[in-house]
Structure 1
Amino acid sequence: MDHRILLITTGGTIGGKLAADQQDEQMIRSADQFAMLLGDTIAYLSKKYGLKIEIDTIELCDIDSSDINHEHWIQLAETIRDKYDEYESFIITHGTNTLGYTAAALSFAIANSSKPIILTGSQVPAGLPGTDGLANLQNALRVAIWRQDGQPIKGVVAVFGSHIIAGTRLKKDTEFGYDAFKSFKIGNIGQIGRIIDINENNLKKHVSYLRSGLYPEAKKAKDLHCEIDFDMRIASLTEFPGMRSEIFSILVEKHNIRGIILRAFGAGDPCTKHLEAFKYLKREKIPIVITTQAPNGNSNFQVNEPGKLLLENNLAIPAYDMSIESQTTKLAWLLAKVKKADLGYSELCREMVNDIRGEVKVLWEIGI
């Protein structure tokens, strides 16, 4: 049985994109070199599982992931869509700085893949002593061909260190350790070490988002449900004591900002002096998503008076437990629908708190 995999490279640490004085001629840089690194692993897995594993490569770009933007998300989604019928799995190598954003963006852009779309990278460049690049690539390959009862791990996931994480829950946790990413607010899909240990409940939930009343899981490209546009006219702000309210109107009127994310205090509790600014945003139909600065917090507008005022007057969108990566890419994805007149302001506000890809759990608190 043939199992064809498309390896798409974008640069990043795994591809040797470091500061000039940190680079080394031993680094692995090209997509073809990555494929060659996997030769022994491919031979072993082919024999073990009775597969004919073949890897083709595409170098989408070769940049530091801090320079990845929505145009690259679109190119990645288009490549997967265009090559969907030719391959059983897709592996993307990517820098760690923005890996969470790309994973979330692809999760929204490609709704119903029945095939694995796996992102990985490394903390130490491939080819250097101590690199985790080869191990992460090997583990991505293992996940790409993994089956349970004939079914793969479908949709967008990341394989990094010992973790297998859903695309909308990927969060970078450290700049140093090999387990650089964690699953934000929910458990992993699985762990990978000597074996692949899948959390069946988490996998079942992840897979459940790949089909809906509007579309089934796509076996063929013609059935793939892709919406790949993003409107990046977004401002992402962190509130601080004494922050001036005029910043919101200035961003809209002077810079044509169409959506705002605000990291407020507490459980989504911005200073009440901003209420008039929020009323202005509502009149102008500019959605504002309010999250919390607490690393493990939940923005729900149900705890303190500032948040409750927002809820009572329908002035903002609570982020609940969405990561900043999912908030940003989802808002940009929905704003693109508004721009095309496929969605209105009120519909966008509802969709931001609608769990469509496993990105949010709405928590409603009941008083004691």
Structure 2
Amino acid sequence: MAKKLTILLVYTGGTIGMIKDYKTGALKAFDFNQILKKIPELKQLNCEISTISFDEPIDSSNMNTDYYVKIAEIIEENYSQFDGFVVLTGSDTMSYTSSVISFMFENLQKPVIFTGSQLPIGELRTDAKENLITSIEVASARENGQPIVSEVCLYFEYKLYRANRTTKVNAEQFEAFASMNYPPLAESGVHLYFNEHLLFKSEDKNQQLVVRKKLDTNIVILKLYPGITKKVVQSIVGIPNLKGIVLETYGAGNAPTEKWFLELLEKTISKDVNVVNVTQCAGGSVIMGHYETSIELQKIGLVNGKDITTESAVAKLMYLLGEKLTKKEFKYHFEKSLRGEISDTNKV
């Protein structure tokens, strides 16, 4: 009989870990040590499940870099003991959290699957059970003794996505996430089908896991809108100690060509602030220089975010700024795919 695989379940907080007290009607945190009693179907999986929970479950709205590091350290400390990891967080910030974790882990050789739910685990129509069961199944999936998945993923409502490609798109439907610029890595139906040619693999399997914990939060998202004023832009680019800006532009990376706007950006870049150009569109890519309205941005030195999501751009910015790179090095590494977060071409 094949040796049972070991999966570590890490609960940080979020809707999935709540159950209803039927006497009071209030929601309370679920004890994940009792997971097999609540979801006996897990016994059908050929794996042993251990759990670690945050002492105080946190709402996803309170997620921050200290918690990112805490999640990464739990996995790092248990990396040699377990075959795979399932991380439960609140869905509202899951794309941000899972994207950051994907950059923090270098040479990852094991699956780290993020999931959660729209309804608490104790609700009658909950999506929590399916999301959790299939996430554990994904984390324990093997082919020729090797994990099929060896990257940071997000599983929700029958689809497995690369975590750093996702965006939460719906607050009410069970199908809460989308990956507009990259296909699902796996789909769960009658069978669990992996699109293996889409999976990310580390180039050198003999390399040791490296965990990058220095994250720089001196960044801001500047979303353009018609009629944005000089005062608004000035106040944002003038934030003390600012080191990075995710500039959400229109369409394929277009922005106003007004002199004051370009001068403010150029002055900001000259102060060693890295400005990354990402599109406001749900899907598609920044193509710098494609239209006249982005040629000037290219000239003054904006970094091309290509088809990266805003969530992943924030994560990558925090990670690369923490590495203390030169401006040239930063631009090179941001515009390059490090964890499969951007496409090498504009089409997948």
CA distance in 1, matches of 2:327, 2:234: 18
The residue type paired with residue 232 of structure 1 is: T
Match of 2:335 among 348, 353, 356: 353
CA distance in 2, matches of 1:37, 1:156: 26
- Which protein is richer in helix relative to its size? 1
CA distance in 1, matches of 2:44, 2:256: 59
CA deviations 1:310-345 (Å, max 9, x no partner) are 22x24211211001111000001111112xxxx112
Greater displacement, 300-309 / 252-261: 252-261
> TM-score with structure 1 length normalisation?
0.86
- Superposed counterparts of 1:1-368, under 5 Å: 1-16=3-18, 24-25=25-26, 29-38=30-39, 40-46=40-46, 53-60=47-54, 61-152=56-147, 153-203=149-199, 206-207=200-201, 210-212=202-204, 216=205, 223-273=208-258, 274-311=261-298, 313-338=299-324, 343-363=325-345
CA distance in 1, matches of 2:110, 2:281: 35
Q: How far did residue 196 of structure 1 move?
A: 0.7
Confirm or deny: 8 A CA contact 2:216 2:322 kept in the other structure: yes
Give RMSD over aligned pairs.
2.3
State the SS of the aligned residue for 1:92. Answer: strand
State the SS of the aligned residue for 1:164. Answer: strand
CA distance in 1, matches of 2:335, 2:197: 22
Q: How far did residue 246 of structure 1 move?
A: 4.6
Q: Which runs of 5+ in 2 are unaligned?
A: none
Q: How far did residue 17 of structure 1 move?
A: 9.3
Instruction: Note closer, same or farther for the CA distance 1:252–1:35 as it changes in structure 2 (3 Å cut).
Output: farther
How many positions carry a matched residue from both structures? 339
CA distance in 2, matches of 1:314, 1:146: 47
CA distance in 2, matches of 1:355, 1:201: 16
Confirm or deny: 8 A CA contact 1:246 1:277 kept in the other structure: no
CA deviations 1:163-197 (Å, max 9, x no partner) are 01112112212112222112230111110122111
The residue type paired with residue 137 of structure 2 is: R
CA distance in 2, matches of 1:335, 1:154: 25
Q: How far did residue 259 of structure 1 move?
A: 0.6
Confirm or deny: 8 A CA contact 1:252 1:258 kept in the other structure: no
Confirm or deny: 8 A CA contact 1:267 1:302 kept in the other structure: no
What is the aligned partner in structure 2 of residue 49 from structure 1?
A: none
The residue type paired with residue 323 of structure 1 is: T
Instruction: Note closer, same or farther for the CA distance 1:104–1:26 as it changes in structure 2 (3 Å cut).
Output: closer
Confirm or deny: 8 A CA contact 2:98 2:154 kept in the other structure: yes
The residue type paired with residue 260 of structure 1 is: I
Instruction: Note closer, same or farther for the CA distance 1:253–1:173 as it changes in structure 2 (3 Å cut).
Output: closer
CA distance in 2, matches of 1:265, 1:140: 36
State the SS of the aligned residue for 1:85. Answer: coil
Greater displacement, 158-167 / 147-156: 147-156
Q: How far did residue 248 of structure 1 move?
A: 4.7
